Amino acid sequence: MQRTEGNENFTRRRRVRRNTRLGSTLLKVAGVCFAAILVVLFLNWLYLQDGQNRYHELDKFGWIGEGYEPSYLSNVGSSHGAYGLDYSEIEAQGLRCFNFALPSQMFDQDLAVLQQFQEGLAPGGVMLIPISYFSFNDETVTEVEREGRATRYYQFVDPEYIPDYDWFVDLTTHRMPVLSGGYKLLLVPSHIIEQKKADREAEEARLSLHVLAAESEESAETADAEAENSDAEAAQESEEPDEFEQVGWDRFVRHFENKPDYFLPEREQQLRDLIAFCREKEVTPVLITMPFHRAYTDLIHEDFLETFDQEVDRIAQETGTNYYNYGMDERFRDNRALFGNADHLNEEGALYFTQLICSEIPEIREMLEQHGITP
């Protein structure tokens, strides 16, 4: 009897000891994990101190917040829309406009951005939906590039609107970007030192402003002269046919090579969803193809252009929207001065084109007239 009790006690003691050992092991594991997370959080904080690790192209969305006046004339789209439309002259007349476009942005991402900022769309406004030749396929070429572009929406769009939302991507690119930062983490110290140095220099410059002010007129004249010279040189360089046309060729290759099944049905559906969303918000959608230079469009096969026009016309007809194709517009296609490269307008071209559509596209013209704005 005593022996049995002794055995039971021994077994109990052994079990308690084993469980304590397991408990302390698990506690140590938790401690190590916690310490590792703290280190990563610190590195993440450090990483975010480096301004170069931010998505600067998204800065414009920071303006849309509480108290933001809704926009009457807006556009979505890729870089064609982002760089090809400039509403500054209309805004100067007091009407809020906004450019929602981002490089390589496709229809589903357009929709995500609009859903995120739906409060910023004024009923009765007009939404320009640029249709590029790659719009029914993809602007990006590689999967890595595609994923890279997709991650930027995690920075400013709510998860419910992000196409194919993945919490892991959210964690590693938005909440804890240091996890996907890779080698950029090594650059953080040098960037911070450079930034501090630049800040210090700016501060010193500010302190000796009165000295500089006296010299500024003289130096400004010199700088202007230098700038003019460099502009002239740049213009001359950009006029060299090979370079401009080479860029046109590169853009053509990027948009057309290795992309079979050019008209993907899911893209068409995304466009229809985008149009439907605009209607739901009482905004008039307008389909538009931006102007391109001959160095780009001449490379595209006629059959493709014909099919493209037919497809967009069909969608426009079925959705009851209007489509305006400026892709081959004679006012642009030979005028290199209006282009940054073969398929992107420059600042001057964007201003001119925006003015043009404000007077030529009835939907915009009428909306502007209602607000007493002369295009």
Partner 1 sequence: MLFNNLTYAIFIPVVFILYRIVPIRYRWALLLAVSYWFCAQLDIRFLLVLFIQSLFAYVFGILIDTAKTERARRRFTAGAAAELLGGLVIFKYLGFFTENLNALLYHLTPHGENFLQIPVPQLFVPIGISFYTLQVLGYILDVSRGKYRAEWHFGRFLLFASFFPQLISGPIGRGDKLLPQYRRLRKPNGRQISMGLKRMAWGYFKKLAIADVLAVTVNKIFGAPDIYIGLIFPASVLMYTIELYCDFSGYSDIAVGTAQLFGVELDQNFNTPYLSQNVREFWNRWHISLSGWFRDYLYIPLGGSHYGIPKRVRNTLIVMLTSGLWHGASWTFLFWGLLHGLYQSADVLITRTHGPKKVNEDYPKPVRILRTIVTFSLISFAWLFFRADSMKTALTFMKGTFTGIEDPIQYLKTFVICLDMPYMQMVWISIPVIILVIADFVSFMKKKEIVELVSAGRPAVRYTVYVLLLVGILLFSQKGVTAEFIYSGF
Q: How far apart are CA 176 and CA 173, in angstroms?
A: 6
Q: How far apart are CA 344 and CA 46, in angstroms?
A: 37
In 3D, which of 163, 85, 69 has the Cα closest to residue 119? 69
Span near partner 1 by CB under 8 A; candidates 22-30, 224-232, 233-241, 261-269 = 22-30
C-beta of residue 89 within 8 angstroms of C-beta of residue 351: yes
Residues 35-94 that bind partner 1 (CB under 8 A): 35-36, 39-40, 43
Span near partner 1 by CB under 8 A; candidates 122-130, 152-160, 182-190, 342-350 = 182-190
Instruction: Give the shortest CB-187-to-partner 1 separation in angstroms.
Output: 6
- Token digits of residue 56: 């600067």
What is the number of residues in the chain? 375
Instruction: Give the shortest CB-36-to-partner 1 separation in angstroms.
Output: 4
Instruction: Give the shortest CB-24-to-partner 1 separation in angstroms.
Output: 7
Span near partner 1 by CB under 8 A; candidates 177-185, 218-226, 257-265, 350-358 = 177-185
Instruction: Give the shortest CB-175-to-partner 1 separation in angstroms.
Output: 12
C-beta of residue 370 within 8 angstroms of C-beta of residue 87: no
30 lies in the binding site for partner 1 (CB under 8 A):
no
CB of 26 or CB of 193, closer to partner 1: 26
25 lies in the binding site for partner 1 (CB under 8 A):
yes
Instruction: Give the shortest CB-182-to-partner 1 separation in angstroms.
Output: 6
32 lies in the binding site for partner 1 (CB under 8 A):
yes
22 lies in the binding site for partner 1 (CB under 8 A):
yes
95 lies in the binding site for partner 1 (CB under 8 A):
no
CB-facing half-sphere around the CA of 36: CA atoms within 13 A: 7
Q: For the purposes of burial, counting CB atoms within 10 Å of the CB of 85, is it exposed (0-12), middle (13-18) or buried (19 or more)?
A: buried
Pairing of strands 121-130, 284-289: parallel
C-beta of residue 146 within 8 angstroms of C-beta of residue 140: yes
Q: What count of other Cβ atoms lies within 10 Å of the Cβ of residue 241?
A: 9
Span near partner 1 by CB under 8 A; candidates 181-189, 227-235, 313-321, 365-373 = 181-189
CB of 186 or CB of 213, closer to partner 1: 186
29 lies in the binding site for partner 1 (CB under 8 A):
yes
Instruction: Give the shortest CB-173-to-partner 1 separation in angstroms.
Output: 8
27 lies in the binding site for partner 1 (CB under 8 A):
no
Cα 328 to Cα 132, 135, 208, 309, 340, distances in angstroms = 12, 17, 54, 12, 17
178 lies in the binding site for partner 1 (CB under 8 A):
yes
Give phi and psi for 78, each to the nearest 5. Answer: -90, -155
> What is the binding site for partner 1 (CB under 8 A)?
18, 21-22, 24-26, 28-29, 31-33, 35-36, 39-40, 43, 147, 166, 168-169, 172-173, 178-187
